[in-house]
Amino acid sequence: MESIAWVNGVITSLADARVSFLDRGYLFGDGVYEAMKVVDGRIFALPNHLDRLERSMEAIRIRPDWARAELERTIQELVARSGLSAALIYMQVTRGVAPRQHAFSPDLTPTLAIFVSDPHPVAPETREKGVKAITVADERWAHPHIKTLNLLPNVLARQEAAEQGAYEAIFIRDGRLVTECSSSNVFAVIDDLIVTPPTDGRILPGVTRDLLLTAAREANYPVREDYITLEELRGAGEIFITSTGVEALGVVDLDGQPVGDGAPGRITGELYRLFVSRWFV
């Protein structure tokens, strides 16, 4: 069992994988990506992730030179070759290799890179106790709905959270509206109503976010996709975040103040168990 990489058809160990210095992903962050997980040997929500990858490529005008079925086979074969029954799959598509100039030719061949490696699951004690989060001003670019490689603002926000002893940073637009987190989506439970910001172009439409909403609605939980103000977030009975890596994880401290009673809430726990039983069992 090993971490392996695939770069434009060449398979190596992850440590030995290489791309050109002139790749536009390296020079400009000119590309998009997806991250998926393998659970018990099965790739979780592969069609959903590939749908979003295609939307992201279309949005920045990268034209793939592969068929979707071919890509699916490649991913499945890499997982099988790795021998990992639980894994992280990371896939990155850049515009390709070209002389360094801002404008690009429509005829470039994209660089497709994939790796399969050991996952970094949430520790049971972390899920049981919940995590801390901070709020930061949302000063990112105008297209957060595209899963682009331009992640410097997210990196800086997450670093600020880490330096304050927090797990995640929640972006606040215009000083009052909650959008999303540095690497996850955010939900609040307000008077037993589950609320999360809408996918109107201001947030990344998370795969786990969408599947959790589906599971919650099927179980008749009251759900609303709507804006949350910072004041509402601070007064919420529960806050939790969602992503491929954490599923649903309770936030128990926001900007140094307890959320609810300072422990992961009842609805957060119910939704996590519902999500796992709905998609992983």
What is the three-state SS of 49-118?
HHHHHHHHHHHCCCCCCCCHHHHHHHHHHHHHHHCCCCEEEEEEEECCECCCCCCCCCCCCCEEEEEEEC
Please report, for the chain, how many H helices and E strands are present, in that order.
Answer: 8, 16
What tokens were used for 180? Answer: 């999303």
| Cα–Cα distance for residue pair 57/52, rounded to 1 Å | 9
Catalytic-residue membership of 147: yes
Q: Is 220 left (phi over 0), alpha (psi -120 to 50) or beta?
A: left
Catalytic residue among 37, 129, 132, 147: 147
| Cα–Cα distance for residue pair 106/118, rounded to 1 Å | 36
Please identify every residue annotated as catalytic.
147
